[in-house]
Amino acid sequence: MLSLMPIQVLETLAEMRALPKRRPRAVVMTMGALHDGHRALLQSARKWSGVDGELVVTVFVNPLQFAAGEDLDRYPRTWQQDLEMCEQEGVTAVFAPRVDDMFSVGRDITLDPGPLGEILEGKARPDHFAGVLTVVAKFINLTNADAAVFGEKDYQQLALINRMVQQLEIPIEILSVPTIRDADGLALSSRNQYLTPQERQAAAVLPAALSAAVEVAATGGGAEDAVVAAEKELTANELVVPDYVVVTDPLLGPAPEHGDARILIAAAVGGTRLLDNAALHLETR
């Protein structure tokens, strides 16, 4: 669906605050380098807000969520392509603030994600989720949106954002969109650009590991069997170094004996950290 109005590019917090509000307004928060996974978020957000509503996209490579030595400086920046995708998807306004404007009043107050922010990705990247939640809360306030759409690809991030909105009574609806995958199953991610052709090929073991776990669960295996099956696939390629393979309940609590569960994996492929996850239904009794 194409918008009738030209897209507005807002570069300052003042411009964002001054955007006249027409309800309903949905927001998709991104760090740019948009791919078809983001396109699915944009389409879902546009569907939610409807033809008369608004769709705001934020583009901001958030320094608070990168630790020293991570890829903040080399994170891909593809502004022109990002704008083109936003135009194609009928985005009303793109809000791309500069770091100094975003934090002009300071950045010493941050949100504590609690124990859920200390496991899995939070264990590997200790301040990551505090940085994510702080900026997500700030963008919710700045954009004054009624709904925000996030991908299931970053499942722990999605769970934490849902928890934050619920516990802090933030008046916004959070929607989620299933992961979009390449033909071989690899989840789309801006960081896939870092992979060499050989690493890109090796990365296909991540979705293969998830499929193996789903299969084991569907045929009567328990959480541990699913983990073993996934680990076997992950370790089949020497370019892939697994970090964790974990089965949890859908809210990231301990794995249930049976019923709905989630498997989450992280692995380094070359120097690139890749994440993926899938729903599992444990049929054990």
Shorter beta-carbon distance to ligand PAF: residue 97 or 222: 97
- Closest contact distance (angstroms) between CB of 140 and ligand PAF is 11
Query: Which is closer to ligand PAF, CB of 135 or CB of 159?
Result: 135
How far does CA 23 lie from the centroid of its chain?
25
Alpha carbons 186 and 274: distance in angstroms, whole number: 10
Beta carbon nearer to ligand PAF, 31 or 278: 31
Residues 11-29 as b/e (b if ≥16 CB within 10 A, e otherwise) read: eebeebeebeeeebbbbbb
Residues of 82-102 as b/e, b for ≥16 C-beta within 10 angstroms?
A: bbebbeebbbbbbbbbeeeeb
Q: Which is nearer to ligand PAF, 166 or 196 (CB)?
A: 166
Q: Using CA atoms, how far apart are residues 198 and 185, in angstroms rounded to an integer?
A: 16
Does residue number 252 form part of the binding site for ligand PAF (CB under 6 A)? Answer: no
Neighbouring residues of 78: CB distance < 8 A, sequence distance ≥ 6: 32, 33, 34
* Active site amino acids: 38
Q: Which is nearer to ligand PAF, 139 or 213 (CB)?
A: 139
Shortest distance, CB of residue 81 to ligand PAF, whole angstroms?
Answer: 16
Is-cis flag, bond preceding 178, omega within 30?
no
Concatenated DSSP letters of 206-252 = HHHHHHHHHHHHHTT--HHHHHHHHHHHHTTSTTEEEEEEEEE-TTS
Q: Which of residues 127-166 bind ligand PAF (CB under 6 A)?
A: 132, 135-136, 154, 157
- Tell me how far apart the alpha carbons of residues 90 and 265 are, in angstroms, rounded to a whole number: 34
Which residue in the block uniquely carries the two structure tokens 């939610």?
48
Q: Give the contact letters, 10-39, x = binds to ligand PAF (CB under 6 A), - = no.
A: -------------------xxx--------
Residue type, 98: R
- Of the pair 136, 216, the CB lying nearest ligand PAF is at 136
CB of 148 to ligand PAF, least distance (A): 9
CB 233 within 8 A of CB 265: no
* CA–CA dist 113, 134 (Å, integer): 9
| # residues near ligand PAF by CB under 6 A | 10
For the CB of residue 253, give the shortest distance to ligand PAF in the complex, in Å.
Answer: 22
Neighbours of 161 (CB within 10 A): 25
Map residues 45-74 to x or -, x wherever contact with ligand PAF holds by CB under 6 A. -----------------x--x---------
- Minimum CB separation of residue 135 from ligand PAF in Å reads 5
Shortest reach from residue 216's CB to ligand PAF, in Å: 30
Phi then psi for residue 121, to 5 deg, are -60, -35
Binding site for ligand PAF (CB under 6 A): 29-31, 62, 65, 132, 135-136, 154, 157
